[in-house]
Chain A
Amino acid sequence: MFAHRSYTRRAGAPALAAALLLAAQCASAQQVVLTSSRSLDFGRFVARTGGTITVSPTGARSSTGAVILLNSPNAGAAVFNVRKSNSGAANKAVVITLPGNGATRLSSGANNMPLSAFVSSPATILMVPNGGVTLSLGATLTVTANQPRGTYSGSVPVIVNFQ
């Protein structure tokens, strides 16, 4: 009984120390900050027998297959801002992690369409200037034949980290 209590106390102390250490590291180190400022919008289209719609990081929209693109003033690439938590040195490269093919879908009720081929511009960030960097993101949407009409929506998660 005594031996058991003694062990518990000893194990508790390092755990607390580790937690404090972790908090200290996060507070003091230069961190990368990511904010989303524009959504990835594939616009309006007619599905017909299906195909794909690609929005490039520049916002250009193109289609393959039978898909017909309709005028869509709001279509365009997603835009993020990558910056540092505070100004200063830390000229570190940033690792950009985009969603995998098919990992994200746009859905409307029970219907959905997969997103794939995510492309960012720039593809790599070698250093983050004090003012931050704009990161644009495009992707390809796959449309099945007679995709039911509707407004489809979804979320595209992006992760950045200093190398």
Chain B
Amino acid sequence: MIKHSRITLVAALAALGLSLPAASMAASATASSSSTVVTPITITKSADLAFGKFAAGTGGTVTVSTSGARTVSGGVVQMTSTTTAAKFDVAGETGATYSITMGGTAVLTSGSDTMAFTAVSDLSGANATSGTVSSGTLTAGAQSIYVGGVLTVGASQAPGTYTGTVIASVDYN
């Protein structure tokens, strides 16, 4: 009995000795991996841009600032009416920066009559009357874009209700 078990052990040892030189030790390493899922960016209109009523007179300009205040130049005469700046509300990933592209019509039209329109925009509704913003930051996950504009009114501009479209597009940087 004892003899038999000795033989078994020696054989096992020999097998180990033979197999080990062929074996090599594997090396392993781990790379970390990551990704960031970002909340989709959205933009909604919450106020329209209104220049209100005015008389063309000898022509000039009508400006509605980003806070909605109206001023006129040249022969344009203001008439009592409500004026507002357009407001777009942007929402998305907190802290993300985004680009703003203003588009839409370059003129307001009433039938075949037109008035040239130039948009003015800012991010604070701070009574800006010139310039546009091209980027913003969603500091708390939201921000608003305020849009006013400048209308060029011709001498004896035809009466009517003139309309146009302001399009604001946003995209993450």
Contacts and interface: CB of A to CB of B under 8 A. Distances in A.
B79 interface: no
Contacts of B160: none
A152 B26 contact: no
A46 B36 CA distance: 9
A161 interface: yes
Contact of B21 (A25, A92, A113): A25
A47 B38 CA distance: 7
Interface stretch (B12-20, B50-58, B108-116): B12-20
B60 to A, nearest CB: 44
A25 B55 CA distance: 99
Contacts of B33: 39-42, 78, 104, 106, 115, 139, 153-156
Interface in B1-19: 2, 5-6, 9, 12-13, 16-17
Chain B interface bracket (under 10, 10 to 19, 20 to 34, 35 or more): 20 to 34
Contacts of A148: 37
Name the 8 nearest CB pairs between A and B, nearest first.
A42-B35, A78-B31, A161-B26, A40-B33, A34-B27, A34-B29, A39-B32, A162-B24
Interface of A: 3, 6-7, 10-11, 14, 17-18, 21-22, 25-26, 29-36, 38-48, 53, 70-72, 78-80, 82, 92, 97, 104, 106, 108, 113, 115, 137, 139, 141, 143, 147-162
15 contacts: A7-B5, A14-B9, A22-B20, A26-B25, A29-B24, A39-B33, A46-B37, A78-B31, A80-B29, A97-B26, A106-B35, A152-B35, A152-B37, A159-B27, A161-B25
Given A45-B36, A154-B33, A156-B31, 14 more contacts: A11-B9, A17-B13, A18-B13, A21-B20, A30-B24, A42-B33, A46-B172, A47-B37, A53-B35, A106-B33, A113-B35, A152-B37, A158-B31, A160-B28
